[in-house]
Structure 1
C-alpha cells in the first residue's frame, strides 16, 4: 500500500512539473513576440507620421529664397519627427524643375512646395501634380489664379506684388520731400530715375516696376525714366547696367529703383566704383530694393542704400509649413491657422514692410 501511494505521488509530481514547464514556456515567449510586433508597429507608425515635403526652389543662390530655405530647415529642427523637407534646385531652368517634380511624385512625397522657375508653366506643373493626386503649395512666384483654382488641392502663399512697389515709391517720395535740394541735382523739379527690373514677364517684377513709379506720381512728384534694364534679379547684371548708365548720365541719375536687393547691391557697387555712395561727404544717389536681406540692411545702416522693402522669409516659411501640413493631412490649407485667403479664395498673402535707416 505504501509502495502504491509512493508511485501515485511520483506520477502526480511529474504531471505537475510538466504542466508547470508548459505554463512557463508560453508565459516567457508571449511578451517577446508582442514586443517585436509592438516595436515594428511603432516603427511603422513613426515613419508614417513624418510628413515628407518636397521643396522645389527656382534656384538655390537667390538670396531671399536661400533665406526661406534656411527658415524651413529651422522649422524641421524644431518639429523633429513631424516633417522632413527635401530641397531641389531648379537652377533657373523649368525643365530641370519638372524633372525634380517627376522624381518626387514617383517617390510618393506627401506634399509639394513649388517656387516656380517660370510662372507661365504653372498649368503644366499643376496638371502633373494633379494626376498624381498630391497637394501643392505654390509660393513666392505666382501663377495665374485660374491655374491654382484648376486643382482643389492647390493654393498659393506669397505677397501682394504691387505692395512692394508702393512701399518703394513711399520711401523715395519721403526722401524727395525731405531732401529735394540734394536729390534734384539739375534743379528741374523732376525725379530722374533708372530702373533695374527682375524679369520681363514675372508678375512680381512687373508690379514692382509699375507701382513704385505710379506711387511717386500720386504724391505729386514728376518723374522721368532715363533707362530701364531687365537683369533677371542678378547682381552682376545690375552692376554692369549701372556702370554703363553712370558713364552715360553721371549724377544726372537721381534715384535707382531695383526690383530686389541683389540688383540694388549691384547698382551700389557700380556707384561706389565711380565715387558715389561712399559716405564721408561723397554724393549719395538714393537706391531702393526689395527683400531687406542682411546685406541690404547693412548697406542701409551704413547710409549707402536708401531703403528696402522687407519680404518676411521667416513668415513665409511658417505659412508654408502650416498650409502644407494641413493639405498633407487632408484638411483645408488654412484650417486652425492665423491665415486667411484673399479675394481669390486660394491665396495667402504675407505683408511687406518698409525698411529704412
Structure 2
C-alpha cells in the first residue's frame, strides 16, 4: 500500500513539518513549508459549491498569515462531467499535489478516483457529495467531509410544521384542512435529493398534518430549471399551490422568480422553503419571500477540509485534527434558518 509508504516517509519528516504545520500550526520560517491541495469541483457555478470554494480560498489565506506556511489551492471545475473531473484528478496527481479534495460529479464513480489516489499515494478528501460507503472503505487514505442529508429534510419539514401549527389558515388557503404542495428535487439519484425529499414530508406525516402532492419533478439544483417547472405548475394548478418544498436554495429562488413573473404579490406567494442557506437565500429570508432554509455549513466544510488536509500532509494523525466517525467521516450539523434567527447567519456589517 503506497499510502503506508507515504505515511512512513512523512513520519520521518514530521519533526520538520510540525514546526510549520502543527496540524496547520507553526511559527514563521524564512522558507515556509508549502502544502499543495488540488480541489476538484463538480460544478463551480453552483451557488453553494461556489460558496464553499470562496471559503476555502479565504481560509487558506488566513492560515498562511497566521501560521507562516504556504497553502497553494488549485481549483478545477468539472462542469458536471465525471470524465473531465477524472482528467483533472489525473493532473493533480501527476503534478505531485499533497492532498486532493473532490466534490465528485457522480458519487458511484468514486472508486476510480480512490484507486488513482491510492496508486499515487496521495490522500483524497471527498466533500459535500458523499461516495458510496463501500468505495470509501476500500482505502485508508480516503475521507469524506459533509452533512447528513436526512437531517436537512427533517429540519426543512420542521419549518413547515411549525408554521402550520402557529397559523394553519395562513398556509391552508383553500380551507380544506389539507396542505397542497409541490416538490422541486435535485438531480436524480443524488443521495441528498432522495433524503431531503423523503424526510421533509415524513415530519408532517408523523405530526398528522394532511398533505396532498400536486406535482414533483427534478430541477437538478438549478434556479433556471426550477423557474420553468414552477411556471408550468402555477398555470396548471391556478392558485392551488400552498407550499413548495425545494431540495436546495437555488431551486427555491427559481420558484420565487416564477411566482413574481406570474404576477403574484409577496402576500400571494406560497410557503417556499429551501436548503443550503446561501447568501442569496438569506437575503430572500430577510425579504420574507423565502420562508426558511436549512444551513448547509459551507464554512464548516471548508475549515474541516483544510484541517484534515494539513494533518495528512504533515504526517500527523487525522483524528487529532478533526473529529472522525469510523475513521473516515467528518460530519457537520445542519441548522434551521428562519426570519426569527436570521441575524445569527448574516455576515457582519462592514
Q: How does 1:29-48 map to 2 (within 5 A)?
A: 46=31
TM-score for the superposition, normalised by structure 2: 0.85
Report Cα offsets for 1:157-191 as digits up to 9, x if no partner: 00011011000000000111112112112222221
Structure of higher RCO (CA pairs closer than 8 Å, 6+ residues apart): 2
Aligned mates of 1:94, 1:175 — CA distance in 2: 41
Q: How does 1:169-208 map to 2 (within 5 A)?
A: 169-208=157-196
Aligned mates of 2:259, 2:106 — CA distance in 1: 31
Secondary structure of 2:202 counterpart: helix
- Count residues with an aligned counterpart: 307
- Which residue matches 2:309? 324
- Which residue matches 1:349? 331
The 1:45–1:105 alpha-carbon spacing in structure 2 relative to 1, beyond 3 Å, is farther
Aligned mates of 1:332, 1:187 — CA distance in 2: 59
Native 8 Å contact 1:145 1:346 kept in 2: no
Q: How does 1:326-341 map to 2 (within 5 A)?
A: 326-335=311-320, 337=321, 339-341=322-324
Q: Once the 2 structures are TM-superposed, how far is the Cα of residue 79 of structure 1 from its aligned partner? A: 2.2
Secondary structure of 1:46 counterpart: coil
* Aligned with residue 76 of structure 2, among 88, 93, 102: 88
Unpaired segments of 5 or more residues in structure 2?
1-28, 340-350
Residues 1:122 and 2:105 are matched in the alignment? no
Aligned mates of 1:151, 1:271 — CA distance in 2: 48
* Structure whose CA Rg is larger: 1
Aligned mates of 2:36, 2:135 — CA distance in 1: 24
Native 8 Å contact 1:59 1:90 kept in 2: yes
- Which residue matches 2:7? none
Report Cα offsets for 1:140-165 as digits up to 9, x if no partner: 00011221111101110000110110
Native 8 Å contact 1:236 1:266 kept in 2: yes
Q: How does 1:1-357 map to 2 (within 5 A)?
A: 46=31, 49-80=33-64, 81-276=69-264, 278-279=265-266, 282-335=267-320, 337=321, 339-342=322-325, 344-357=326-339
- Which residue matches 2:347? none
Native 8 Å contact 2:178 2:212 kept in 1: yes
**What is the RMSD computed on CA atoms of the aligned residues?**
1.5
Native 8 Å contact 1:185 1:251 kept in 2: no
TM-score for the superposition, normalised by structure 1: 0.83
